[in-house]
Structure 1
């Protein structure tokens, strides 16, 4: 089974994708993307299943994605959103958890100014609920969050966690060492998984295989193929060369012996895809 472990769909008229107004550079993806738009890549690369991930901080978008999943057999799981700052949203989590294609949640931590937000006392109920309901947590952040995430993962060793986009190393600025050391520590000290995704978006526009390979190799070597899963981050990847370029780079980087795990098996295990 080949799985794209990280992709998005959105309908602009829904009105809750505020981040799309943050700059002219987002113009190429400021339009609707639906399952029909993904078919060419699914067929070309024989993608059997995908994991659809939230792109708006709203319960309404999670409901929208679950509707798409209901109508699209190859959408295997949905990673949604609830308001961690509102304990009443435990009821939303409980409601979503009853849907067979709902996997877990992803707060948009990369956009929160407080680097220690995830450690605040008033949001801990959410992690307790995720663990109690046996849901997943997609950790979306940037390198400044590495220390806080380490503390969070240590606090909740039984929480099913995957780091999105390798925690977005600053490839365009050649900032490797500090990121690499912290990621290796997380890999060694916790059972957390990592998505091999988003690297092209963090590089300069003229990136090539040699640019991304040290970062990808470090993630694979640190976490091991059994805890690494490939994701396209489509359509965001259209800002950095597109699906074909990123898939080709990842295919060239991943060793043949690891391909079944990284391009399918790991995501199947982590997200419990039938």
Structure 2
């Protein structure tokens, strides 16, 4: 696999001074500073990652505009997944605005942070979701296992929408496999079996694990994702710099490489680039 083909399907850039990252506070010293393309460049070089998909980290339209400005000036940013108020009367206007930028590839409501776990099943405007489909834009689902029933309802309502589950649906790995496995494992199986053929990101697992995690810690979760989504619907992402809370870029890249090393070369190449390229229309 050449470096030119390797894609990080999920990472973030931010500047706390912008003031719209409600979750990002000074008591998170490893994260509470500006992170931009110059910070990631040496890590990409060390791991052979050529391009990335930058994903929103604040539920504001202004942050998406900020990411798109970064993308216009940096060839390493292959695409941006932004935020749009999908339940707003302004949703269609904002979708049309962003869709004019060739690097705008999809949207992500921050479902994990919403007080209503069923929001995705009833709140988004139908015309806004249909406009995403018309514009050939993707949808990132940031969920836990408790969101699976509502996401399934949403998926069935919009069978033409391209959807990817972020971070393997965030299994609570730190609780130990006996506690973490269900209902997460069944939820993954249900999502992967939908006829719409959802994708899933092999990302975020290190953050959900205890400190000093190893390949063995993550192995059962990776194996379950591979077994259900297959090599044709998984895409590797770093979730950097959130990853810095419980790991580092080169370490997670190396672990993921080892954890899928038993797969055929074509499958490894799909997970580390080809699937992201196809899904996001990069």
TM bracket, shorter-chain basis = over 0.9
In 2 relative to 1, CA 30–121 (structure 1 residues): closer, same or farther, beyond 3 Å?
Answer: closer
1:253-272 to 2 correspondence within 5 Å? Answer: 253-254=259-260, 255-257=262-264, 258-272=267-281
1:226 is matched with 232
Question: Secondary structure in 1 aligned to 2:23?
Answer: helix
Are the equivalent residues in 2 in contact too, given 1:157–1:191 (CA < 8 A)?
no
Moved more, 175-184 or 160-169: 175-184
Displacement of 1:139 in angstroms is: 0.4
Match status 1:11 vs 2:15: yes
| Cα offset, 1:85, TM superposition | 2.4
In the TM superposition, what is the alpha-carbon distance from 1:87 to its structure 2 partner? 2.3
Note the C-alpha offset of 1:121.
Answer: 4.6
Give 1:42-191 correspondences, 5 Å limit.
42-121=44-123, 123-174=125-176, 175-189=180-194, 190-191=196-197
Whole-Å Cα distance in 2 between the matches of residues 224 and 202 of structure 1? Answer: 22
Structure 1 unaligned blocks of 5 or more: none
Quote the Cα distance in structure 2 between the aligned partners of 1:225 and 1:131: 25
**Given the two structures, how large is their TM-score scaled by the length of structure 2?**
0.93
Q: Which runs of 5+ in 2 are unaligned?
A: none
> Matches of 1:71 and 1:121 in 2, distance apart?
35
2:250 is equivalent to residue 248 of structure 1: no
Tell me the CA shift for residue 125 of structure 1: 3.3
How high is the TM-score relative to the length of structure 1? Answer: 0.96
Give CA-to-partner distance per residue, 1:226-273, whole Å, 9 cap, x none: 100000000000001111221111011113412100000100110111
Asked if the contact 1:87–1:126 (Cα under 8 Å) also holds between the matched residues in 2, the reply is no
* Contact in 2 for aligned 1:138/1:163 (Cα 8 Å): yes
Tell me the distance in 2 between the aligned counterparts of 1:55 and 1:80.
Answer: 8
Residue 126 of structure 1: CA displacement?
2.8
Q: Is the 8 A contact 1:131 1:158 kept in 2?
A: yes
Asked whether the 8 Å contact 2:47–2:250 carries over to 1, the reply is: no
1:208 and 2:210 matched:
no
Whole-Å separation in 2 of the counterparts to 1:256 and 1:225:
8
Greater Cα shift, 261-270 or 200-209: 200-209
Greater helix share, structure number: 1
Which consecutive aligned stretches of 4+ in structure 1 deviate over 4 angstroms post-superposition? none
Describe the SS at the equivalent of 1:87: coil
- Paired position in structure 2 for 1:40: 42
